Amino acid sequence: MQPQSFIKIFSGTSTRYLAEKIADSFGQELGQVNKLNFSDGEYTVMFDETIRGSHVFLIQSTFPPADNLFELLMMIDAAKRASASKIIAVMPYFGYARQDRKDQPRVAIGAKLVADLLTAAGVDRIITMDLHADQIQGFFNIPVDHLYASTIFVPYIEKLKLKDMVIASPDAGGSKRAHSYSKHFGVPMVICHKYRPKPNVVGELRVIGDVKGKNVILMDDMIDTAGTLTAAADKMMAEGALSVRAFATHGVLSGPAYDNIENSKITEVILTDSIPLKRECSKIKVLSVADMFAETLACVYNNETIAKHFVFRK
């Protein structure tokens, strides 16, 4: 095996908080990369150390603004031009993943565009977590390592030792994920059926299944405005649930999300640190994915399987 110095780990500006934890868990310091800003708003990136012949891991979640995605693209381009041996983009949160299909006339498929941009920039591999749609992996013609937050969520749920537990999905689209958890724990599953008159607005909501006298675990891949999530939780409490806890991999938390969560009947919301919190919230707890990503980096470098790190897939 090559010496550890042949592995270089760098971070984009927005994800340094997580990259530092990943590098520390990996047992290596973050590499030095500078973002140089110009007065007109343009910027460029520059590695402050040699990366020739190295496996370069670039850690950056691509949540808004689009500068986060463009900074990652520029780091990939800079690494390629600096003769890196392998360039691996580590994207704990893959932005634009909700735009995975043409669901109405004359719309862009943003996820495919992002895949094409990353490939054109020169990336050799993608490591990401809980994509909004699994088929996004097929948008790439390079390897994609798709991790699952079940690795850290399942132990947390087990420690709760909840009686009369049921697993719930806030919408029909997340039923596959909820089924995986319900099957693992051997408990029933319920689904919320929702009608959206327009994006980020929840209309009619119905609970399919029995939640009376149950402790509900709501599973989702991301929380944006938290409108659906909190409406589902309040509906379940109204139908006799003892408690409702929500688990989501990515805390986008835009608009009224924090107020929605605070004012809802949810007991707690468990997120990962794939996206940093914008503010504190008494009901939100964050679990770190740093160790999981550090182990995956080592497996990728050593050509080892990463399947052993997953409790189950959705």
Q: Are 18 and 61 in contact (CB under 8 A)?
A: yes
The answer to whether residue 212 is catalytic is no
Sheet holding 268-272, edge to edge: 205-208, 189-194, 165-169, 215-223, 243-251, 268-272, 284-287
Spatial separation of the C-alpha atoms in residues 301 and 8, rounded to whole Å: 11
Q: Are strands 205-208 and 189-194 parallel, antiparallel or unpaired?
A: antiparallel
Whether residue 300 contacts residue 279, with contact meaning beta carbons closer than 8 Å, is answered with no
> Do residues 188 and 209 lie in contact, with contact meaning Cβ atoms separated by under 8 Å?
yes
Q: Read out DSSP for 129-159?
A: E--SSGGGGGG-SS-EEEE-THHHHHHHHHH
Q: In sequence order, what DSSP letters do the residues of 102-119 get, joined into one string?
A: --STT---HHHHHHHHHH
For residue 170, the 8-state DSSP code is S
**Which residues are 205's β-sheet partners?**
194
Residue 124: CB partners within 8 Å, gap ≥ 6? 86, 87, 88, 142, 143
Catalytic residue among 8, 112, 194, 314: 194
Measured CA to CA, the distance from residue 144 to residue 89 in angstroms comes to 10
Catalytic (active-site) positions: 194
